[in-house]
Amino acid sequence: MFIEVEGVEPTNNRAERALRYGVLWRKRSQGTQSDRGNRWVERILSLCQTCRLRGKPTYPVLVEATEACFKGHSPDLAWIAQH
């Protein structure tokens, strides 16, 4: 694909760098002990990576999502689709 499309990287280094934090976390923490723990970790790490790619701090996004949940609303996720 990188031969046909200009700007596409010829390696998967970008994808590997995106996964690196999660891999290192799992190695240090010895993973989780349950499926529920696995789901929490995969979602929180996905959120952290999405925030990093979009240039948003993670903590305020988590606070907003938590507040929306307690109020019975959905958080504003429009920022995720922005490029």
60 in a domain, yes or no?
yes
24 in a domain, yes or no?
yes
pLDDT in tens, 61-80: 999 999 999 999 999 888 88
69 in a domain, yes or no?
yes
43 in a domain, yes or no?
yes
54 in a domain, yes or no?
yes
| Rounded CA separation 69/21 (Å) | 27
**Total structural domains in the chain?**
1
pLDDT in tens, 20-76: 888 888 888 888 889 998 898 888 988 888 898 899 999 999 999 999 999 999 998
| Rounded CA separation 56/38 (Å) | 24
48 in a domain, yes or no?
yes
1 in a domain, yes or no?
no
User: What is the domain extent for residue 58?
Assistant: 13-81
